[in-house]
Amino acid sequence: MGYIVIDCETSGLFRHHNIVNGEKVTARSDEPGQPRMAQYAHVLLDDNFNVEAEYSQYVQPVGWQNEDGSPMLEMPQGAFEVHGLTMDFLRVNGNSVHHALDRYVAAIMAGRILIGFNQQHDGRQIRAELRHAGRDDLFERTPNICAMRSITANYKGEDGKCAVKKLNRKGGHPRLIDAAAHFGISYPEEDRHDGMRDARVTAKVAERLHEMGLLLPAEVHYSRNMPQGEQS
């Protein structure tokens, strides 16, 4: 069976709600203006967390839209500042999103468990891309594990095994850089927010959590008042 550890670099963050006639309505992940996948990467692991294969690609920005439905011509500034990818770069170096989706679907259909560091975001992104492509988002068939939530669920205090310190900030969940520093995993600045390098580091973090007995069990996560496919 094994695992598939993914990381997605995207055009932004999800908008969770729309205001319609003064009412707050849940926004679907595949609506215009929602983030699109600029880079996809995965690491395939066996049941013992040994690496079996890796895959990474940039994605052609085909059909990307702004919130008003107009074509998205430039990478949003906030996203560019995170990963440095431009639309021109993706047009030249990207491949069809179907190449990434085919590999992801094959792994899920083979029974692999999905792992992401911030699985709520990455899992939602890949399901949105599947729906954009007119494909089943496989929500019901995708038990998954969030490494970040595994850390926060097992926080043991300042001196505990999972006392991941948040570097350069106080509140919120730990970031991948925080987890890498805590577990002594090499993650130099130039590697950050590259999908393949992030997936490799996430795989190592998950392995450490597994060795400590702290990796959460794989589940299909349902959220209240959320349409199918919009859960974590």
Residue with tokens 């560091």: 117
The CA distance from 147 to 121, in Å, is 12
Q: Binning pLDDT at 50, 70 and 90, where does residue 165 land?
A: confident
Q: Express as a percent the part of the chain with pLDDT over 70.
A: 90
Task: Compute CA distances 74 → 15, 70, 78, 85, 198, whole Å.
Answer: 19, 12, 11, 10, 24
Domains and CATH numbers, the chain: 3-211 (3.30.420.10)
d(CA 76, CA 14): 13
pLDDT higher than 50, residue 192: yes
Span 219-225, average pLDDT? 72
76-127 per-position pLDDT tens digit: 999 999 999 999 999 999 999 999 999 999 999 999 999 999 999 999 999 9
pLDDT score recorded for residue 189: 82
Asked whether residue 39 carries a pLDDT value surpassing 60, the answer given is yes
Query: Per-residue pLDDT averaged across 141-153, rounded?
Result: 93
For 61, residues 6+ apart whose C-beta sits below 8 A from its C-beta are 11, 36, 38, 72, 87, 90, 91, 94
3-state helix, strand, coil in the chain (%, to 5): 35, 20, 45
Q: How far apart are CA 160 and CA 47, in angstroms?
A: 27
pLDDT of residue 193: 87
Q: What is the pLDDT of residue 19?
A: 81
61 has pLDDT over 70 = yes
